Chain A
């Protein structure tokens, strides 16, 4: 538990799974004046509309201590992906597999949205097999099209909007990842299970 300025506390957890547990617990029973939650790789930022007190620290300590339970699975999303990404061959080479093998691995693995960030609706998906945990491209692209399915480090992700990006592109989907007129606006939110399927 670390203070983050005079309006927030940063909860640090030992393992990535606990992030989801802490997030779910704070969604169910928010602290008084809780304004926002930002789950990330190893932390949950709790933003308040007031200065945090020792009571908040104590409440968060209790919560993280018991937060080993697996988070509720909120939803399962299947994404149809056309695996024609510009970096698929590079990823295959890094993995020491054929491009077909890479596609087979990506369409059999079950991924989970660990947290969102980078841009609205961009989910960091965990659960990739070790071979597919590839480094970012050494030179980022100035424009990655919306719907691009990409890999970097321990994460897979889908770009909701066209943007600059340094991840390895393996395919693309037509799914609408983020729509402000939809409720909820993000197709992938923390805790969502994601499966890729081969699509047109």
Chain B
């Protein structure tokens, strides 16, 4: 059992998401920075399907009800264990009654806390992820929540420490041409892949809204709704692109100019409002 003492701006339970339900309108959801969540699970010897906590901009504080093995990855938030500095990117033991607290990360946005056995809230459609768009899954953590710990551990963990590079606040994300690149002007692709973009404050787990040069449409036709993937860079009529993240809608009705490669999605998920980002054609 983990008792939630503080949540920061937003902490949710996340796993690999809901797979196979897109056809009935259910988004995938899951950890926004899937690579960091997966690493946290590996550090405590969990099954890859185990659920972890995703803290947004730090501020999470939890108390262990029994001896627990935990690990923290993602945005490098200062870790405090009973008010003393604790390890980042390495497994450590919490004694019964011990508290772990995450400070505000100096870079990056999303910090992951894995517990050996996994956070065992009831799954919804095969996943424990909170989907901020559809509302499926557990509600975001609240002070006083008591989170059961499951048995989704694999072998004993054998990794002592994972060498981690902090997320960049000015990353260059690789993009592939999107399926509707020709719905926008040739200049739009050039602008996307050369300009400096900044992440605006109305960004969230659904997507990053980007400020920069307006991207112009080549046609005024209305695009029939079509499926979306995480990493899709969609251009609404106002010309300001949206880069979709884990809680993206299943379908969208605006042209997708570009798609960020899967390997660069974790870096996208670590961007916070005010960060700058560039795109490079792959």
Asked if A118 contacts B251 (CB within 8 A), the reply is yes
Asked if A41 contacts B23 (CB within 8 A), the reply is no
Asked if B24 contacts A186 (CB within 8 A), the reply is yes
Asked if A45 contacts B225 (CB within 8 A), the reply is no
Asked if A35 contacts B20 (CB within 8 A), the reply is yes
Q: Within residues 18 to 41 of chain A, which ones have a CB less than 8 A from any CB in chain B?
A: 23, 35-41
Q: Which single residue of chain A is at the shortest CB-CB distance from B263?
A: A6
Complex contacts, A8 vs chain B, CB 8 Å: 227, 229
Q: Which of B25, B226, B229 interacts with A119 by CB under 8 Å?
A: B25
Interface string of A133-155 (1 = CB under 8 A from B): 00000000000000000000000
Q: Let me know if B178 is at the binding interface, CB within 8 A.
A: yes
Asked if B24 contacts A23 (CB within 8 A), the reply is no
Asked if B224 contacts A117 (CB within 8 A), the reply is no
Q: Within residues 235 to 276 of chain B, which ones have a CB less than 8 A from any CB in chain A?
A: 249-251, 256, 259-262
Q: How far is the CA of A23 from the CA of B24 in the complex (A)?
A: 12
Q: How far is the CA of A126 from the CA of B38 in the complex (A)?
A: 42
Asked if A41 contacts B176 (CB within 8 A), the reply is no
Complex contacts, A121 vs chain B, CB 8 Å: 24-25
Asked if B232 contacts A117 (CB within 8 A), the reply is no
Q: Which single residue of chain B is at the shortest CB-CB distance from A117?
A: B251
Q: Which single residue of chain B is at the shortest CB-CB distance from A41?
A: B224
Q: Let me know if A43 is at the binding interface, CB within 8 A.
A: yes
Complex contacts, B227 vs chain A, CB 8 Å: 4, 8, 10, 38-40, 43-45, 47
Asked if B229 contacts A3 (CB within 8 A), the reply is no
Q: Let me know if A161 is at the binding interface, CB within 8 A.
A: yes
Asked if B23 contacts A189 (CB within 8 A), the reply is yes
Q: How far is the CA of A39 from the CA of B124 in the complex (A)?
A: 23
Asked if A36 contacts B22 (CB within 8 A), the reply is yes
Q: Let me know if B172 is at the binding interface, CB within 8 A.
A: no
Interface string of A157-191 (1 = CB under 8 A from B): 00001000000000000000010100011100110
The answer to whether residues A36 and B19 also contact, given A2-B179, A180-B125, A185-B24 and a CB cut-off of 8 A, is: yes
Q: Let me know if B163 is at the binding interface, CB within 8 A.
A: no
Complex contacts, B250 vs chain A, CB 8 Å: 38, 116-118
Complex contacts, A118 vs chain B, CB 8 Å: 25, 249-251
Q: Is the interface of B mostly helix, strand, loop or mixed?
A: loop
Q: Let me know if B91 is at the binding interface, CB within 8 A.
A: no
The answer to whether residues A6 and B25 also contact, given A40-B226, A41-B224, A180-B125 and a CB cut-off of 8 A, is: no
Complex contacts, B21 vs chain A, CB 8 Å: 36, 120, 185
CB of B13 to closest CB in A, whole Å = 15
Q: Let me know if B28 is at the binding interface, CB within 8 A.
A: yes
CB of A84 to closest CB in B, whole Å = 26
CB of B21 to closest CB in A, whole Å = 8
Q: How far is the CA of A108 from the CA of B176 in the complex (A)?
A: 47
Q: Let me know if A42 is at the binding interface, CB within 8 A.
A: yes
Interface string of A113-134 (1 = CB under 8 A from B): 0011111111110000000000
Q: Let me know if A197 is at the binding interface, CB within 8 A.
A: no
Q: Let me know if B49 is at the binding interface, CB within 8 A.
A: no
Asked if B229 contacts A42 (CB within 8 A), the reply is no
| Given pairs A4-B179, A45-B229, A185-B26, 20 additional interface contacts (CB within 8 A) | A4-B178, A4-B227, A5-B176, A5-B178, A5-B229, A6-B262, A23-B23, A36-B22, A36-B28, A38-B22, A39-B227, A40-B225, A40-B251, A43-B226, A44-B227, A47-B227, A120-B21, A184-B24, A185-B21, A190-B24
A-B contacts, 8 listed (Cβ < 8 Å): A3-B176, A4-B179, A36-B21, A38-B227, A40-B251, A41-B224, A116-B25, A185-B24
Taking Cβ atoms with an 8 Å cutoff, the residues of B that contact A are: 19-26, 28, 124-125, 134-136, 176, 178-179, 224-229, 231-232, 249-251, 256, 259-262
